[in-house]
Structure 1
Amino acid sequence: MRLIHGLLLSGLLSFPAAAYAEGDPEKGEKVFRKCRSCHEVGPDAKDKSGPALNGILGAAAGASADFSYSNALQSAAAEGLVWDEESLTAFLTKPRDFLKGTKMSFSGLRKEADVADIIAYLGQY
C-alpha cells in the first residue's frame, strides 16, 4: 500500500495525514532524527536495520515484502495489526511493552507531543 494525497492505493480511502495526529510534522522531522540510524522515509527510502516507513499510517504491519520482521511482528501482522494512530502511539511510546519480542531496540519516546509530532511527520509520506 502507498499513501498519496491522503489516499491509500489499495482501493480504500484513508484520512488525510492531519487527521491521524494533532502533531506538528516540522517538529516530527526533528524527532525522527532519533530513528534515522535504523529507518528511512521519503522518495528514496530503503530498508535498513528497520523497514522504510513510507505509507506506514493505515498500513498492515509487516507490509514490506523485502524486510525480515521479527517473529513477534509477523504474529501480530497475522492477527491483523494495522499501524493506525493508536497502535503507533503505543508502539512508539514503549515498543517492547506493545510488542513483546520486537527486534526494535529503541526504548521509546517519553513525551506525548513527540509521539504526535512524529506520527504527523510520517503521515506526509
Structure 2
Amino acid sequence: MWYRALPICLCFAFLLPLDAHSEDGDVAAGAVVFKKCAICHVAETDTNKVGPSLNGVFGRTAGTHPNFSYSPAMQEAGKGGLVWNETVLRDYLHAPQAKVKGTKMTFVGLKDDTEITNLIAYLKQYSK
C-alpha cells in the first residue's frame, strides 16, 4: 500500500530546495561574481571608486551615498523612492539601464539568476 503514495511523494520532493545555498545564495560564489563589479565598486569598506561603495547598500536610498557624484537619473530615482533592497537590486543587476534610465553605470547586467543570488548573498555580509 505504501507504494501507492510514492508518486505523490516524488512530486513534492521536487518542490523542496536542493540545498541551503539555493535560496540564500553562496557567499563564496558571490565573491567570485563580485570580481566583475570590483573594477568600479568596493563592498568591504566604505570607499568610493569609479562607482559608489556598496558597503551597507541594503536599505540605502538610491543616489545618496556621501561624496559620490551620481547621475541626475540616479538622484531622481532616489527622490522618487528607490531604496536598495534584494528585489530592487536583483532587477537593477539584470539590466541597470532599464531599471534606472540614464544611469551612468555602463555595466550591461548579469543574466544568470544564480549569479545574482550569490552576489546578493555576498553583498549582504557587508550590509549589517
Query: TM-score scaled by structure 2?
Result: 0.78
Asked if structure 1 preserves the Cα contact closer than 8 Å seen for 2:25 and 2:117, the reply is yes
Cα RMSD, aligned residues only? 1.1
Task: List structure 1 runs of 4+ shifted beyond 4 angstroms.
Answer: none
Query: Highest CA radius of gyration, 1 or 2?
Result: 2
Runs of 5+ consecutive residues of structure 1 not aligned to the other structure? 1-20
Higher helix share: 2
Deviations 1:103-124 (A, max 9, x none): 0010000100000110110000
**TM-score scaled by structure 1?**
0.80
Residue 82 of structure 1: SS of its match in structure 2? Answer: coil
Which residue does 2:115 correspond to in 1? Answer: 114
Percent same amino acid at aligned positions? 45
What is the deviation of 1:63? Answer: 2.5
Q: What residue is the counterpart of 1:78 in the other structure?
A: 79
Amino acid at match of 2:121: A
Tell me which residue corresponds to 1:24.
Answer: 26
Partner of 1:50: 51
> Which of the pair is proportionally richer in strand?
1
Number of matched pairs: 104
